Amino acid sequence: MNNRQQTLLITGGAGFIGSNFIDYFTKQYPDTQILNIDKLTYAGNLDNLREVDQRPNYRFLQGDIGDKAWITSIFEEYDISGVINFAAESHVDRSIEDSQAFVESNVLGTLTLLDAAKKDWEEKGELDIRRFHQISTDEVYGSLGEVGSFSETTPYNPRNPYSASKASANFFVKSFGYTYGMDVVISSSSNNYGPRQHQEKLIPTIISHALEGKQIPIYGDGGNVRDWLYVDDHCRAIDLIYHKGHTLESYNVGGGNEQTNKDMAAQICSLLDEFVPEYRQPYSISSYRDLIKFTEDRKGHDRRYSVDDRKIKQELGWKPAVDFHEGLKKTMEWYVSEWKNKQTL
């Protein structure tokens, strides 16, 4: 890769959504150079980029978005045409245990990245042309009761340390738009599902615990609702927002698939019953559902998320394409295949 060619900087591209996005984007735009920077914490995995690694428009560097000197050197060495910031500590349960890393990566890391981009783009006289796209979450809006949805104008009301750090980052991103005239845009999506999600999240937990005959922990009464968005649909939305979204705007991205956690667990168990009944045998259970166990609730557990995403649909013509049942089946098949591969190692 010629370093002085214009390059799109993707941060956190070894994680779940970032790696799916790079896979999508390098295929979709073979003439765009992509530089992926990732700290490779416990949640980043270069295996997620196995297929991408050989593509001529892709390059990877290991490092921390919070490392000011290193980030500055990236902007000096490459002609960074835009940034899409996926890098984040993302697991709510971990943030409840200890929020320090969340402030460091999500708030200070984003600020360091913003500062470096601002300095470089200002020097080039292109601060209002080169774009900073912040990947955010519907959790910044807080928690809903049984009805209603978050729109882009819903005031932020984060209720756990993870969402507080993401809301804070969004405020910094917006402030760079208002204060310095930087071209910034924010997307806030609902819960993603699909291949390569880290083991700690709900869907991978359900599948791996089922296959290993372990109890499937469902927090509280299992009535908490999440809206599930297939990761490929999210990638298309990010592409549209990055290229066509209006500066200083936020866009909500939802899947239109609200599920209680207990229903989600039951559906996945039924899929596993259908496709891999043989792995139940050692545990003497008639359905993987028998493994579901209601456990102690998450502290401050947000009850329901739901996004009103009419804006991206109306302004940018996006809509989710993946049917929920199909998406869940593909996801389940991917995890089962990964699990089988591990057994044979």
Q: Catalytic site residues?
A: 138-139, 162
Q: How many positions of this chain bind ligand T46 (CB under 6 A)?
A: 18
Contact stretch for ligand T46 (CB under 6 A) within 59-67, 216-224, 230-238, 324-332 = 216-224
Pairing of strands 216-219, 292-295: parallel
CA-to-CA separations, 150 to 6, 56, 250, in angstroms, rounded: 36, 40, 12
Contact stretch for ligand T46 (CB under 6 A) within 32-40, 115-123, 219-227, 240-248 = 219-227
Q: Is residue 156 near ligand T46 by the rule CB under 6 A?
A: no
Q: What dihedral do alpha carbons 45, 196, 282, 222 form, nearest 10°?
A: 120
Least CB distance from residue 315 to ligand T46, whole Å? 22
CB-based contact 117:183 (threshold 8 Å): no
Q: Is residue 201 near ligand T46 by the rule CB under 6 A?
A: yes
Calpha distance 12→9 (Å, rounded): 10
Phi-psi region of 338 (alpha: psi -120 to 50; beta: other; left: phi over 0): alpha
CB-based contact 331:194 (threshold 8 Å): yes
Report the residue from 181, 213, 217, 256 that binds ligand T46 according to the rule CB under 6 A.
Answer: 217
In the chain the first and final C-alpha atoms are separated, in Å, by 35
Least CB distance from residue 88 to ligand T46, whole Å? 7
117 membership: H or E segment, kind and range: helix 110-123
Nearer Cβ to ligand T46 (120/158): 158
In the window 157-196, what residues touch ligand T46 (CB under 6 A)? 190-191
Nearer Cβ to ligand T46 (218/231): 218
Least CB distance from residue 190 to ligand T46, whole Å? 6
Least CB distance from residue 213 to ligand T46, whole Å? 16
Contact stretch for ligand T46 (CB under 6 A) within 5-13, 89-97, 179-187, 231-239 = 89-97
Select from 172, 226, 196, 191 the least CA-distant residue to 18. Answer: 196
Report the residue from 202, 269, 272, 312 that binds ligand T46 according to the rule CB under 6 A.
Answer: 202
Least CB distance from residue 154 to ligand T46, whole Å? 15
Q: Is residue 85 near ligand T46 by the rule CB under 6 A?
A: no
Q: Is residue 234 near ligand T46 by the rule CB under 6 A?
A: no
Q: Is residue 261 near ligand T46 by the rule CB under 6 A?
A: yes
Q: What is the DSSP letter of 281?
A: G
Least CB distance from residue 320 to ligand T46, whole Å? 15
Q: Is residue 306 near ligand T46 by the rule CB under 6 A?
A: no
Phi-psi region of 194 (alpha: psi -120 to 50; beta: other; left: phi over 0): left
Contact stretch for ligand T46 (CB under 6 A) within 64-72, 109-117, 212-220, 251-259 = 212-220
Q: Is residue 227 near ligand T46 by the rule CB under 6 A?
A: no
Nearer Cβ to ligand T46 (22/202): 202
Calpha distance 274→113 (Å, rounded): 47
Give residue 253's identity as a one-letter amino acid code.
V
CA-to-CA separations, 189 to 154, 159, 202, in angstroms, rounded: 14, 17, 17
Strand locations in 39-160 (E): 58-62, 79-85, 131-137
Contacts with ligand T46 by CB under 6 A lie at 90-92, 137-139, 190-191, 201-202, 205, 217-219, 224, 226, 261, 298
